[in-house]
Amino acid sequence: MERKADAKARSGLDVLVAGAGYVGLAAAVSLKQARPGLAVALVDAAPAGSWERDGRASAIAAAACRMLDQLGIWAEIAPKAQAITEMIITDSRSADPVRPVFLTFGGEVAPGEPFAHMVTNRALNGALRAKAEKLGIDIIEGVAVQGFETDGAGMSVHLADGATLETRLLVAADGVNSKLRDMAGIKTVKWEYGQSGIVCTVAHERPHNGRAEEHFLPAGPFATLPLTPGEDGTNRSSIVWVERAEDAKTLVEGDDLVFEHELEQRFGLKLGEIRVADKPRAWPLGLTIARAFVAPRIALAGDAAHGIHPIAGQGLNLGFKDVAALAEVIVEADRLGQDIGALDVLERYQQWRRFDTVQMGITTDVLNRLFSNDITPLRTVRDIGLGLVERMPRLKEFFIRQASGLSSGTPRLLKGEAI
């Protein structure tokens, strides 16, 4: 349940978070739990209850699971989460009769700790909202931020319903097309890939046993990600299918039988008979990185700071890294009696997160360009490279640590430590 007190009556906030997706909710919860004395509120342009209609699922790395456990909500999410016990990578054409496995990853970063889980967005968002309510965080829904002005001591944030909120810090977690980023005058580096990502849930005859697969096809990667069984016990997997933009539009908007045929060509029959369990959706793919992550009294987090290709499945986890780093910086500054919205404080967050984000953006961009083609010399080089990684246990372990979010410079929350 969200609190719906009159926004006009609110004043003297310490932190206002714009955007009540998982990044915005996690930011508000992290700050309020660590510093109960901070006055924290959320504002979201989406209508109340719209999050409950989100049928997608996300891969949550081990580090993010540790953070959610530290926030006291992983125990609620865990029964609804599917551990990824194995990851395999193939490189082939959809018509190839055999898809050789070039690379396999074991699923644990520590005994009994999978490197990732699949969790439905509804379960994740619902658990974070329940925690926010328990901590007394107000959520103002169905109202957009219309503008803001800063002064030496704080900022005035104007909402579309005529209310004005006073706060010391505004966290922009309002998505890749962030209006707040534009209002703050922050430019972006941005380009489109001419691809779209198709997402849907597939029911299948045989169990997946926790195995995730990523097939590199000429048009883009096709990922099969394991989900928990449906309420009726149906075996299910989530599909992230990258296609050329015009082909994706035709597939999603066209005949269901054509879609199912094309899906089966890529999915294969390894799990028996399959069927599409929900309405497929597609969204355009591109790279967007903000030229700055902060401005006076404003910090960008999640997709507002960076939107990357889903080829490495790191979008959500990059957002949680932002949350953990920002919370640690703000909490430390507050304990020292510093102004949490001051630019010199926010620049510590920017220095912590920007290099890692740019590095991940470049990595996913290069991987997409390298694998999303059918050029024979490139296919040969990349397949040799995958084969070499498969034969080097230490290198594989390094990649698993990276995928799990437990690389060097990890914020304390992502290690499962309190801030």
Are residues 104 and 390 in contact, defined by beta-carbon separation less than 8 angstroms? yes
Q: Specify the range with the lowest mean pLDDT, choosing from 16-25, 95-104, 132-141, 152-161.
A: 95-104
Are residues 14 and 39 in contact, defined by beta-carbon separation less than 8 angstroms? yes
What's the pLDDT at 8?
41
Q: What percent of the chain has pLDDT over 70?
A: 88
* H or E segment to which residue 318 belongs: helix 315-335
What's the pLDDT at 36?
97
pTM (2 d.p.) = 0.91
What's the per-residue H, E or C state across 95-158?
A: CCCCCCEEEEEECEEECCEECEEEEEHHHHHHHHHHHHHHHCCEEEECCCEEEEEECCCCEEEE
pLDDT, mean over the chain? 90
- Decide the pairing of beta strands 82-83 and 155-159: unpaired
Written as six digits, the tokens of 401 are 């640590």
Residue 73's contacts (CB-CB under 8 Å, 6 or more residues apart) are 127, 128, 130, 131
What's the pLDDT at 390?
63
Q: What is the DSSP letter of 19?
A: -
What's the pLDDT at 103?
76
If 0-12 CB within 10 Å is exposed, 13-18 middle and 19+ buried, where does residue 1 land?
exposed
What's the pLDDT at 6?
45
- pLDDT digit string (tens) for 112-146? 889 899 999 999 999 999 999 999 999 999 999 99
- pLDDT digit string (tens) for 166-207? 999 999 999 999 999 999 999 999 999 999 999 999 999 999
